[in-house]
Structure 1
Amino acid sequence: MSEKPKRPHHVYTLLVEVGRKAGDGLPEGASGAALMCYASGVDEDEAVRETVAVLKTADMNVLEVTGYGSLEEREAEGHDIEADERALMARARDENSVVVAQTTVFREGDEADG
């Protein structure tokens, strides 16, 4: 029996918008949040699926996920990627995991898109 060659994993930058749900851990008065995540996957679809699954286990109500591409794709587009961001991406790749790098809490009345 031949084993399939392992496909290389990349780390994708994802912005995840979440709404409120009981037990979500967001502060009182929050209407939701945006989470900047770095997720490992063989492709962006897998990284999104894994991120949504992890956040659901944390009782998060995932509303929308926006992908910004892999590290290589972002570099090709000329994004300025700081050393601390690269370190979090390396951690996500090495641990084959999802790393939530930043959380921005929305409050009632906040403009989510502006």
Structure 2
Amino acid sequence: MVVEVGRKAGDGLPEKATGAGLVVYASGVDEAEAVRETVAILKEADLAPLEVTGHGTLEDRLKAGDEIDPDEQALMMRALAENSVIVAEMTPFFD
């Protein structure tokens, strides 16, 4: 999923950043649970989630014809196997 976060004291983002975009892999019984778990973990890490966009399971994406590189597939499988939330990429936003 892709998560947009805003600023919050102690968030660890660069000083002049206005927020960040995160690429996250998470497991859950369904997409709604994966989103809830991701938001909870990010809040616990002092981040301020603003918007979450799910992109479906590995199976859903493959059925839709998406090409998914092996590294991304490995992260998806790891999140599932570990029942975890993995932040794979964080890109700060600047005005």
The bucket for the TM-score relative to the shorter chain is over 0.9
2:71 to 61, 67, 84: 84
TM-score, reference length from structure 1: 0.81
Pair 1:70 & 2:57 matched: yes
State the structure with more CA Rg: 1
Aligned pairs, how many?
95
Measure how far apart 1:103 and its partner are.
1.2
Deviation by residue 1:18-39 (Cα, 9 ceiling, x = unmatched): 0000111111110000101010
Aligned to 1:81, what secondary structure does the other structure show? coil
Pair 1:32 & 2:32 matched: no
List aligned pairs for 1:1-114, cutoff 5 A: 14-108=1-95
Tell me the distance in 1 between the aligned counterparts of 2:75 and 2:20: 20
Higher relative contact order (CA 8 A, sep 6+): 2
Measure how far apart 1:72 and its partner are.
0.7
Structure 1, unaligned runs of 5 or more: 1-13, 109-114
1:56 alignment partner AA:
K
2:19 alignment partner AA:
G
* Structure with the higher strand share, 1 or 2: 1
Aligned to 2:50, what secondary structure does the other structure show? strand
TM-score, reference length from structure 2: 0.96
Aligned to 1:99, what secondary structure does the other structure show? strand
* Structure with the higher helix share, 1 or 2: 2
Give the % identical residues: 65
